Amino acid sequence: MRVVGLHPDVLVVTSRVWQTTCTLVRRGEEGFVIDSPVLTDELEVLPALLEQSRFAFSGLLATHADWDHLLGRLAFGAAALGVAETTAARLAAEPGAAARELRVFDDEHYVVRPSPLSLGQVQALPVPGHCAIGDQELELHPADGHTADGMAVWIAWARVLVCGDYLSPVEIPMLSDGGSRDAYLATLRRLEALVDGAEHVVPGHGEVLDPARAAAILREDVAYLEGLPDAPLPLARRSAAQRRIHEANVGRLS
């Protein structure tokens, strides 16, 4: 697990699995953990990391309902989980899905966890909208297309964009169940203005980006999606895993 500081109020944790990112943000005596790392030892150290960094903890936020972004409850068992209204609706429509998918992953990779995943209290947040934190607010922006749900989080005073499963340097656009090419493109267009004003962009998977690189990935992703089903893969994302994602994307368009 890797930890980097982007601002006195923002830390990013990157998991050893899929380079999944988790963002810690504070303002005064309040703070949130956005998304989550994946492995048990990574989750276990999160409370200590907050304490050592003198980051307050008020609750959890998740950019969307894919299971690998919902594991914060395994580190903070009593915490409330804030999500977009679309994500709350997806979780209600798919009760237990995240826990089942986590068990499949754990069984495949021989991961032992001290307890099963329970999402507990889920708070639906209006998106677009704001979430108060200290004397500031987090801006919440719609981010559907990868899935049917989701939000991006703009930390305005730190100029950090937490965009969920978009703008990844390691993963091409993925149209999951419920996802949509048109919705994905619309999200990228919404993110463009935020990228232009950002100092750091945190994708759901992969290293933190500077705005120039994030903008370049955004252009590549727009070209890829608009070119489907015959679009070539972006030059730096042509692994066997990315070819499998591409084949699945083409299948969903047919």
Q: What is the pLDDT of residues 171-228, one digit of tens each?
A: 999 999 899 999 999 999 999 999 999 999 999 999 999 999 999 999 999 999 999 9
Q: Is the confidence at residue 10, as pLDDT, over 90? A: yes
Per the CB < 8 A criterion, the answer to whether 65 and 95 are in contact is: no
Domain positions in the chain are 2-253
- Give pTM, 2 decimals: 0.96
- Stretch 124-143: mean pLDDT: 98
pLDDT category of residue 254 using cuts at 50, 70 and 90: confident
Neighbours of 231 (CB within 10 A): 17
Residues of the chain above pLDDT 90, percent = 97
So what's the pLDDT on residue 94?
Answer: 94
Per the CB < 8 A criterion, the answer to whether 34 and 64 are in contact is: no
Q: Is the confidence at residue 64, as pLDDT, over 80? A: yes
What is the per-residue pLDDT across 88-128, written as a single tens digit (0 to 9) for each?
A: 999 999 999 999 999 999 999 999 999 999 998 899 999 99
Neighbours of 70 (CB within 10 A): 27
| Pairing relationship of beta strands 30-35 and 59-61 according to DSSP bridges | parallel
Q: Is the confidence at residue 236, as pLDDT, over 80? A: yes
Task: Tell me how far apart the alpha carbons of residues 75 and 41 are, in angstroms, rounded to a whole number.
Answer: 10
pLDDT category of residue 164 using cuts at 50, 70 and 90: very high
Query: What is the CATH number assigned to the segment(s) 2-253?
Result: 3.60.15.10
Per the CB < 8 A criterion, the answer to whether 84 and 150 are in contact is: yes
- Stretch 146-150: mean pLDDT: 98
Indicate the SS3 state at residue 30. Answer: strand
Q: How high does pLDDT run on average in the chain?
A: 97
